[in-house]
Amino acid sequence: MDVFEAIAGRRSIRSYVPMPVPEEKLRRVLEAAQKAPSAGNRQEYRFIVVTNEETKKRLAEAASQQAFVGEAGAVIVACATNPERRWHAEDVAIAIDHMTLAAYAEGLGTCWIGAFDEEAVKPVVGVPENVKVVMLLTVGIPADKGRLRPRKSLEELVCYEKWQE
């Protein structure tokens, strides 16, 4: 599968088969994050992989009671280790996006979770006070393919040389 197939095929998956993510697939997903670019190549992030059922349930509670968070094979808690740096959120987002594409290529489903209470997540997984939880990512074996969402046309999204209406 090439990157364009992964970009076109990836969906946000909110329904998972109740089984663990194969370790070798999860490792390749994490290696994709490791290879992501970051500002100044600082790589100031850390990813906590959660597979414990009780811990996943607690993360689901902290994520606006979104039950599917606890039902995924794994939840990755994506953290910025130096949140005072201007580009911390962008760096984490690039790494997460690499993970979503790698997961799709591995036959796994993912869903970005931005709706969560950071102060509730931190004690669940032992995140220090000086570290910022930027995003949660569910990873698992999809129970369905998700649905294709409508996309705006390129003409609606892209301007050349200057802003255009």
Cβ neighbors of 19 (< 8 A, separation 6 or more) are 73, 140, 141
The maximal CA–CA distance of the chain, rounded, in angstroms, is: 52
pLDDT score for 107: 97
- Residue 112 pLDDT class (50, 70, 90 cuts): very high
Cβ–Cβ under 8 Å, residues 141 and 17: yes
pLDDT in the model for residue 87: 94
* CATH, domain 3-157, list 1.50.10.100, 3.40.50.620, 1.10.3720.10, 3.40.109.10: 3.40.109.10
d(CA 49, CA 107): 18
- Round the average pLDDT of the chain to a whole number and report it: 96
Question: Mind listing the pLDDT tens digit for each residue in 125-154?
Answer: 999 999 999 999 999 999 998 888 899 999
Q: What whole-number percentage of the chain has pLDDT above 70?
A: 100
What are the residue ranges spanned by the domains of the chain? Answer: 3-157
Position 149 scores a pLDDT of: 87
10-23 average pLDDT score: 96
- Tell me the β-bridge partners of 37: none
Main-chain dihedrals φ then ψ at residue 119, nearest 5 degrees: -70, -20
List Cα–Cα distances, 14 to 34, 46, 66, 68, 122, in angstroms: 25, 24, 9, 6, 23
Q: Is the pLDDT of residue 19 over 90?
A: yes
- pLDDT tens sequence across 21-49: 999 999 999 999 999 999 999 999 999 99
DSSP string, 61-119: HHTTT-HHHHHSSEEEEEEES-TTSTTHHHHHHHHHHHHHHHHHHTT-EEEEE----HH
Using 50, 70 and 90 to split pLDDT, how confident is the model at 165?
Answer: confident
